A = this chain, B = another copy of it.
Amino acid sequence: MAQQVRAHNIAVSRDGYAAGEGQSLERPFGHADPRQLMSWAFEAESFPGRDEPGGSRGFADLLVREFHRNVGAEIMGRNKFGPQRGPWTDEEWQGWWGDEPPFRTPVFVMTHHPRPSFTLSDTTFHFVSGEPAEVLEQALAAADGKDVRIGGGAQTLRQFLDAGLVDTLHVAVAPLELGAGSRLWESPDELEDRFRHDVVPGPHEMVHHLFWRE
Contacts and interface: CB of A to CB of B under 8 A. Distances in A.
A112 interface: no
A59 interface: yes
Nearest to A211: B58
B66 A197 contact: no
- Chain A contact-residue range equals 20 to 34
A50 to B, nearest CB: 13
A211 B56 CA distance: 10
A54 B214 contact: yes
Interface stretch (A12-20, A102-110, A198-206): A198-206
Within the oligomer, what is the number of copies of this chain? 2
A53 B214 CA distance: 8
B58 A210 contact: yes
A212 interface: yes
Contact of A198 (B53, B59, B198): B59
Point out which of A56, A197, A198, A214 has the most chain B C-beta atoms below 10 A from its C-beta: A198
A59 B214 contact: no
B58 A212 contact: yes
A62 B60 CA distance: 12
B62 A196 contact: no
Contact of A202 (B60, B198, B211, B212): B198
Contacts of A58: 196-198, 210-212
Given A54-B214, A56-B212, A200-B201, 4 more contacts: A57-B168, A57-B196, A59-B200, A201-B201
